[in-house]
Structure 1
Amino acid sequence: MPEDPGEPTQGVSIWSLKPWWCQPWSILITGIALPLGSWLLVHRWWVTVPLAAAVLTWWGLFLVLMPRAFREQTALLRRESTQP
C-alpha cells in the first residue's frame, strides 16, 4: 500500500481493500443462496425471478463494473503521476 493517500496504488486489487463479506466468493454464495432459498421457501416463480434479477444486477455492479472502474481509475492515476 502506498504511504501517501494521494499516491496512486500500483498492483493493488480492489478485493484486497474489501472485507471478507464483500469478496467475490461471498457475493456469489449469497447471490446463489437468496433465489434458491426463496424458491425452497415459497415455491413461487413470481417471487424468485425478480429476486434473481436483482441478484444478477448486484453481481454485474459489484463483480464486473466496480473492479473495471477501479482498474481504469488506478491506470489513470498511474499515467497522471508519471507525466511531468
Structure 2
Amino acid sequence: MEGYLDHLSLEYDSVWDTKPSWCQPWTIVVTGLSIVACSWVILHSVLVSSLAVALIAAWWYIFLYSYPKSYSEMIAERRARVADGFEDIYGKNKKTL
C-alpha cells in the first residue's frame, strides 16, 4: 500500500483541470474580446478601447500564460521531490530514520 501511495499524484497535470467551466481559456478570451468590442460600440473612443485592450492583454498574459506555466513548473518540481523521496504526496518532508 505504501508503494502505491508514494506514486499517487494528487495534483492535476493542467491548471485548467482545477477550474470550473466558466473559468476556462475560451471563456477568458471571449470575455476579453467582448469587453473590447463593447467599449468600442458603446463609447466609440480609441483611447478607452486602447486602454481596455492594454488591460485585457495584461489579464490574458497573467491568466493564460504566466499562471499555467508557473503551475506546471510547480507540479513538476513537486513530482520530482516525491520521486526523489524527499517529500510524500501530501507535500510533507519524509523523515529519515
Q: Which runs of 5+ in 1 are unaligned?
A: none
1:25 aligns with 2:26: yes
> Are 2:41 and 1:40 aligned?
yes
Larger radius of gyration: 2
Deviation of 1:54 after TM superposition, in Å, equals 0.2
> TM-score scaled by structure 1?
0.86
Higher helix residue share: 1
Percent sequence identity is: 32
Distance, in Å, in 2 between the alignment partners of 1:64 and 1:8 is: 23
- 1:51 and 2:35 are equivalent in the alignment: no
Q: TM-score normalized by structure 2?
A: 0.75
Q: Which has the higher contact order (CA 8 A, sep 6+)?
A: 2
The count of corresponding residues between Structure 1 and Structure 2 is 78
Runs of 4+ more than 3 Å apart: none
